[in-house]
Amino acid sequence: MGPLLGLAKAFCGPALARSGTLTRLQTWVRPLPTRLYHLDGCNQDVLAIAQCLSKEGSNVVVMTGAGVSTPSGIPDFRTPGSGIYDNLKQYRLPYPEAIFDISYFRQSPDAFNTWAKEFFPGLRYHPNLAHFFIKLLHDKGKLVRLYTQNIDGLEVLTGLPHEQVVHAHGSFNSASCAACGQDADLDEYKQSILLNQNPRCACSEKAPIKPDIVFFGENLPDRFQMFQEDTAFSDFLICMGTSLEVYPFAGIADAVPRKVPRLLINRTLVGSFGSREEDCLLLGDLVEQVIQLCRALGWEQDLFDLKNAYDKEKQAGQ
């Protein structure tokens, strides 16, 4: 589940998902139906899955959710004591979701900027092996596009080109004025909030600058609609670390042609996985499943080489 929508659901449950707030965001949480799908008919043989991906996967679409970034240490929203849900109490907001409401932000950016200090990519959190697996798919010439609900930008830190990524809920990779939309210097914005300042645009409204993540009251990015063409011509889909409850993002999994193999790497069975003959499942710890898949593909050393190179560069820059 994407961070902002996951937060809304955690705070207010299905009622908020049906409210005008999420309608303006053009996204909603669909109640999960009674599951009619089963594990039995799905390919859970990692060697067979690797063979299929190796031979048939030349146009791979990848979807990721918050579960891909939790191994990097990014907190989820609902864990008592450590989740973002509890930690937001310190900001004394008029209502919890105000921290991600564009109208509230324009009036009072302090709370969001304080929260955002922790989440800039590369400061406290770094990509894990699941992120580097996606980069490896790109390096092997298989990746068409990554669609992610995450706003943390960790996949870009692996070296994955920006044009290969669609941040469905925006990201911290750029910043702009909350009123006029004028692009702002991301490094200047980051340095300002690290100094507990609230940077503002030079436009007539003197509106605050924000990273280009999708707030309540804003539309999804136009690039999101690329999924229709990408899925139409895909020959393999990989879905990782998401509950597939938030639409229209979750609909990407159902948009691929019915005969296209779909691989779910997740802790549990979600969405419509298990309903198609070509569905594949690797359930359990996400990073461990990625390692097992790369081992079966003969990519394990490549995977760790990418991660080690990043770690060395990070240490050299400290």
Q: What is the pLDDT of residues 232-260, one digit of tens each?
A: 999 999 999 999 988 889 999 999 999 99
The pTM for the full model equals 0.83
Report the 10 Å Cβ neighbour count for 110. 14
Catalytic residue numbers, as ranges:
169
In sequence order, which residues have a C-beta less than 8 Å from that of residue 61 and are 6 or more positions away?
144, 145, 147, 227, 230, 231, 234, 236, 237, 238, 252, 256
Rounded to whole angstroms, the Cα distance separating 303 from 280 reads 21
How do the domains of the chain map onto residue ranges?
A: 38-73+126-169+220-317
CATH number for the region 38-73+126-169+220-317 comes to: 3.40.50.1220
Q: What does the pLDDT look like over 78-116, one tens digit per residue?
A: 455 545 545 666 777 887 778 889 999 999 898 888 888
Q: Please give the pLDDT value at position 81.
A: 53
DSSP 8-state class, residue 219: P
